[in-house]
Amino acid sequence: MRTPIFKGAAVALVTPMNADGSVNFAKLDELIEFQIQNGTDSIVACGTTGEASTLSHEEHLNVIRRTVEKVNGRVPVIAGTGSNSTETAIYLSKEAEKAGADALLLVTPYYNKATQKGLVEHFVKTAEAVKIPAILYNVPGRTGCNILPATVKEIARRAENVVAIKEASGNISQVAELASIMDDDFAIYSGNDDQIVPILSLGGLGVISVLSNVAPKETHDIVASYLDGDVKRSRDLQLKALDLIKNLFIEVNPIPVKTALNLMGMNAGPLRLPLTEMDGANAEKLKKSMVDYGLSVKYNQVIAGNDLTRD
């Protein structure tokens, strides 16, 4: 019998940087505390939003270690340890387990992709290398690789510690098919903030969220309201957030969400190349959607020559 790692909203946490591009661990502590104090149900370290692809292995593991230490058991810590190299995914997963992570998030192999058979072998071998539970991460728009429902079922059959999937394909029909063939103890989490309620309606247990970086309580409430039976409130909260969600993805994630945190005065710092600072016109759209949503914009920041503090 599989046990869900969490129910609700997990934040795919940004990795804050100093001006010189190094990881800002003091700010990481602050962001973690902000999340926990505002009702986040779980914290994902070193996912896509955490710029894991440009962290060295040492930095990657140090962020996971620091997150585990700071969280101190208050909510589950999920460590992003996926890779397009099975050997690397196994290494990072073992080290995350040693660090005390509660679970792993394993993205599909990117660039080299894989056949469905290759996906089964990749995920099973990685999961078998550790004892902690693992969440599959399906995001074909970024990886060029889609985990089909039958493949998920085979992976879960062979690796009992694969307990869930983060579904970010955007294909609700595929999610419905997946829900129809998986056992009830296999958790489905939305990987898209604009599809939280639709996936909950198919039996999902929550979301692994970018929106939670700037609106942790509100994102938690979307899920909690639905699970408590207040579908109308959940739907209303989802719809209220749609414009902000759209603008959090107006450029490639995590460019907008880091910009948003900086606008809120939370000093998430710069991005690592090849990600660049946000285009000024897009940043203005993001700022407006933040204000309309009710977020406090208070940090004086200039992006692409535009003063974002102007009304």
Active site residues: 137, 166
Contact status, residue 131 vs residue 161, Cβ threshold 8 Å: yes
Contact status, residue 132 vs residue 158, Cβ threshold 8 Å: no
* Spatial separation of the C-alpha atoms in residues 37 and 54, rounded to whole Å: 29
Nearest to 105 by CA among 153, 137, 60: 137
Q: Where are the alpha helices (DSSP H) in 82-186?
A: 86-99, 116-128, 140-143, 149-158, 172-181
Rg of the chain (C-alpha set): 18
The token pair at 306 is 């535009």
Nearest to 252 by CA among 54, 28, 103: 54
Nearest to 254 by CA among 26, 8, 47: 47
Alpha-carbon separation of residue 264 from 12, 109, 193, 203, 311 (angstroms): 18, 34, 20, 34, 15
What is the DSSP annotation of 10-36?
EEE----B-TTSSB-HHHHHHHHHHHH
The token pair at 15 is 């990795």
**HSE-CB of 221 using CA atoms within 13 angstroms:** 14
